[in-house]
Amino acid sequence: MTVQQQFSTVRTEICGHSIQELATKFGTPTYVYDAQIIRDRIEQLRQFDVIRFAQKANSNIAILDLMRKNGVLVDAVSAGEVFRAKTAGYEYNGQPDPIVYTADIFDREALELVVDKNLHVNCGSPDMIEQLGQKAPGRSITLRINPGFGHGHSAKTNTGGESSKHGIWHEQLENCVELAAKHELSVTGLHMHIGSGTDFEHLSQVCESMKETARRVGSSITTISAGGGLPTPYRDTDTGLDVDRYYQLWDKTRKELEAEFGHSISLEIEPGRFLVAECGFLITEIRAIKSMGANQFYLVDAGFNNLARPILYGAYHPMSVAFAGDASSETQSVIVGGPLCESGDIFTQEEGGFVCSRELPGAAVGDHLIIECAGAYGYVMSSNYNSKPFAAEVLVDGSQLHLIRRRQSPSDLIAGESIPG
C-alpha cells in the first residue's frame, strides 16, 4: 500500500519535544533523529530474510546500535565502517554474516582487516577477487554485478550502466567465476544495487537480470541481495514505497531460482535512505533575513558543510519554520542559504545549481528553520569547510533525549595538525 506524505511548513515539535527546547538544550545546527520512525521503517521490511542497513547513509554508532537491537544487519564500505559496526556491538562473523564488506576496491587497510577477521566480502571488481584470493583462498564471496543499466535520482547516484564504476560488468561474470575458482573461492551470492530511487518497471528488469545472472553462476548461489535504493518521500507529491509489491517481485525471483537449484535462497535487502531519511531533522536558526532586488533570503546557521545534498544533487528537502516569538500566518517566497563564503551555499536549488525559492512562513531572525528528511546522507557527508564544526546529533526516543554526538569544539577542528619547527 502506498501512502501520500504531507509536509507542513510550520513545526512546533519533534516527537513531543519543542523545537525551542531542543535548540536551547543542544544549540544549532543540530541533527535530531526520531528513533520510532526508524523502528517503523524496519517493521515495514520484515518480510525479507535479511535487512542489511547501508550505514553509509547514517553511521552514528547509536543508530547502528538501534539497528542491531532491532535485528538489522549491516553493510560496510570501508575499514572505518567495519570499526563502527563492531563498536556498536556487531560480531565479525555469524550466520547470516552480521557485517558484509561491499566495495569496488580494497584499500590496504580494508584488505588486511577482512582477511584477519574473516569478514564476508561482496566483490565489486575482478581485482578484489584476485587480491582476496591470494591472501585468503577457500572462502565464500558474493559478487556485486553491474547488469549494464541503472537508475538514480540524479546522474551522480545512478550506479548501473557503462558510465558507472560500480560492480562487476555483467559480461565478465564467467571470467570472475573462473578467477574465484582459481583461488578456491566459492561464489555463494549475487548482489545488484543499481541506483537510488527505484520504480517497478525498472525493478522487474533488475529481477530478470538477477535470475539470468544466477543461472550463469549455478547452484552455488544461496543468497541474493536486492541492494538498496528504495525510494522515500521528500515532497508532498511523492508517494511512499509499496513495500509489498516490491517484496513480491523479489520473492518471485527467489522462488524461481529455488525451484531451479533445488535448495533455499536467502533474500536480502540493503537500504540506507529508506530506513533513516525520514527520521532526521536538521534544526537551524535564522540569523539574517535580507533582500537582493526582488529576492528575499533567509540565511541560517547551517550550510552545505552540514547538509550537502542540495548543492551536490539539487536535492529537495522539506522545510518548516518554528517560531521563537509571535507566529505569522503570512507566507513568502524565499531563498534559503547558509553561512559559507560561497554562492552555492543554498538549500533551495535545483540540479545544475539553479537557485529557486520556496513558499515558507514569514519568519524573523531568531526563529528556527528545520530541514526535514535529512537523516540519510546528511551528517555523514559533512565537512569542516570554512572551519565550521560538525553539528551535534541527538536521538529522540519517546520522552528520552540522548546527545549521541557532541558538537565539535574549536580544538577538534585543528586536532592532528602541527606547525613544523
Q: Which of these, 373, 369, 372, 362, lies nearest to 301 by C-alpha position?
A: 369
Grid look-up 563502527 returns: 84
Binding-site member from 30, 146, 157, 348 for ligand LLP (CB under 6 A): 157
Give yes or no for a contact between 386 and 413, defined as CB atoms under 8 angstroms apart.
no
Instruction: Identify residues 186-245 at the interface with ligand LLP (CB under 6 A).
Output: 193, 196, 227-230
Q: Which is nearer to ligand LLP, 14 or 76 (CB)?
A: 76
Q: Which of these, 196, 72, 220, 208, lies nearest to 147 by C-alpha position?
A: 208
Q: Which of these, 278, 265, 190, lies nearest to 230 by C-alpha position?
A: 278
Evaluate the omega torsion of the peptide bond into residue 339 and state whether it is cis, within 30 degrees of 0. Answer: no
Q: In the numeric block, which cell numbers belong to residue 140?
A: 565464500
Grid look-up 542489511 returns: 52
Q: Which is nearer to ligand LLP, 230 or 300 (CB)?
A: 230
CB of 409 to ligand LLP, least distance (A): 27
Does position 73 interact with ligand LLP (CB under 6 A)? The reply is no
What is the DSSP code (8-state) at residue 79? H
* Separation CA 99–CA 290 (nearest Å): 49
Binding-site member from 377, 382, 390, 401 for ligand LLP (CB under 6 A): 377
Q: Which is nearer to ligand LLP, 30 or 198 (CB)?
A: 198
Q: Which is nearer to ligand LLP, 26 or 377 (CB)?
A: 377
* Separation CA 255–CA 264 (nearest Å): 8
At 323, is the secondary structure helix, strand, or coil?
A: coil
Active site residue 176: no
CB of 309 to ligand LLP, least distance (A): 5
Candidate segments 175-183, 247-255, 267-275, 319-327, binder of ligand LLP by CB under 6 A: 267-275
* Separation CA 122–CA 99 (nearest Å): 11
Does position 273 interact with ligand LLP (CB under 6 A)? The reply is yes
Binding-site member from 14, 23, 54, 129 for ligand LLP (CB under 6 A): 54
* Separation CA 417–CA 238 (nearest Å): 45
Instruction: Identify residues 175-194 at the interface with ligand LLP (CB under 6 A).
Output: 193
CB of 131 to ligand LLP, least distance (A): 19
Q: Which is nearer to ligand LLP, 17 or 166 (CB)?
A: 166
Does position 151 interact with ligand LLP (CB under 6 A)? The reply is no
* Separation CA 113–CA 183 (nearest Å): 19
Question: How many residues sit close enough to ligand LLP to count as binding (CB under 6 A)?
Answer: 19
Q: Where on the chain is the footprint of ligand LLP (CB under 6 A)? A: 54, 57, 102, 157, 159, 193, 196, 227-230, 270-274, 309, 376-377
Catalytic residue set = 341
